[in-house]
Structure 1
Amino acid sequence: MPVLRRRDSRANTGFSLTELLIVLAVLSLLLSLVVPAASRLAALSRRAQCAANLSHIAKAYFTRKGHDQISTDPPFSVLSEWYLQLIPFLAANDLALACPEDDDPAAALPDIKMLVRGMSLNPFSTNPIWNEVSGAEMPGAYRIWKVSQEQYSALQGTIGEGRNIQAKLPQYDPGDNPEKYYFLFEDAGDWDYEDVVMEVEENHGTNKLKIKLHFGYTVFSYTMTGPNDFEIDLGTNGSGQPGSFVFNMVGKLSYGMNWRADDIYSGTHRILALDYEDYLAFTGASQTEHWETFKAPRHLGECNVAFADGAVESMRLDEIDPTVIENRLKYWSPPHATE
């Protein structure tokens, strides 16, 4: 007589709903622990790479400063595209200028200058004047002024030979198209700012910089210089001809250098360079508002800072905030400075 065997219902139906929910809960718990840990490890790795970049920049800076002692080249100036001056001392590795945590690094612009009557006017150097005041508030005579496309259009009915428009020059506002702007040059002192107009258009898709030149009536001779020994005589006495030129941008830039770096010597625990959204960190007594605009806590709420003594540290923003005078004197100003 056959023996009847009771089937194991568990073997036929698999896991119960309760068991599945328990498994899912355990997996969710594991993921909640593993994913943040993995993300943090990746962030720490990017922070370490950024710190290495800043260390390379600091070493290149002091190597370049030492080079100045034996070279007939113009001395290093932090105010004149410091990154271009350091690239040869970074083994031509401009990748060291970009932080891996920076999703939108700035385009590093080429070294282009206008030479006129013994002056070298560098339009792409960060100039706090046109960013902070209007021409009416201009402290002294400036030979160059930056305006946006909209601002230039608004000035069209005003600009003309011999018309003093200095008081009408606006504080720079990038407007709707920050990649297109104009530099207005003044040469002879009538402050009409129409002697040379440089129209600039950045194309980040192609990594190109296009420059168009328009001439009014120039009294002095202008020469434009650029990378790879580029040099062109632009004429004088109204003879300048409009021209278009295209240059390569120099890669990407994620760091700012202390604007007083030239006065900070090796071995001092003063800020040389750091994570920043502009290539110069203007942190003087009247310019600390730049800090709020350009500070960059990219690394888990902190920023990497390279010091002139060779140290690179991750620091909280409040520790180095230059709007606090104690921080400014401790970290940003040259030793023994009272401001």
Structure 2
Amino acid sequence: MSEPFYTDKAQVRAAFERAATRYDSAAVLQREVSDRMAERLDYIKVAPPVILDAGSGTGYGAAALKARYPDARVVELDLAHAMLAASREKQKDGAGFLGRLLKKAPWQVCADIERLPLADESVDMIWSNLAIQWVNVPDGVFAEFRRVLKPDGLLMFSTLGPDTLCELRGAFAGVDGATHVNQFIDMHDLGDALLSGGFATPVMDMEKIVLTYDDARGVMQDLKAIGAHNVTDGRRRGLLGKHAWQGVVERYEAHRRDGKLPATYEVVYGHAWKGSPKPKGNALPDGRQVIEFVRRGDASR
């Protein structure tokens, strides 16, 4: 059963296939969040032999993982073949940071993170940067992640929360009955899904990152360039009329500060372990587990 705000998986794939050639030029947020995720690994003592980069894009995260764990085999997995091809091309050319770090022929898999073509208990760590937000029901993808993780394996991910693009969503409100901005799952629901999926000692935190633009069209162009424009089932099938678009622009202008328009992203981070059903210590006396939620301050870029 579908809902108007559910993402259309075929449209998600098509959007990222089209965006692959220009993705790196616009993926400022994706790189920033990847770097902040990597900083969290400073506090987690692991040495994983096999790492799955689930939703690897053009390979930025894979390069960082290879730099941190030079003896690990990093498997890049993405829904869009063109994204994997872009990563492979950079490695083949040996150009820049990615080419220097990933000298071996890459292991790449073109597949859906909700249906991983990997054996049970075959990877030691799963890294997923800004990919889970394209999944409508997180329980399924967390079940797949847990299936392929080895015992005591680590899941680390980032995704987007419901306040993402709140300015743009407000500007489109009331235009018509269609959905115009992707909608995202709340941090607390994700934490609950981790627990119900059998993950141990989950830790969740959130921060807001604000990108700034000269105009509303710039926001929309960047979203299209990274394949993140509206792909909901309830999206409008035709173009928005000139009068309606002008109303969107005028409502967005109410958010202008210091000459710039903000685009807010609520970034949710999470990590958890595939452990035994018995908690490892983060539990109440009666055995119920506790999710740790941490709220961080806003950040601007």
What TM-score, normalized to structure 2?
Answer: 0.29
Q: TM-score, normalised by structure 1?
A: 0.26
Q: Higher helix proportion, which one? A: 2
Q: Which structure's relative contact order is higher, taking Cα pairs within 8 Å and 6+ residues apart?
A: 2
Rg larger in 1 or in 2?
Answer: 1
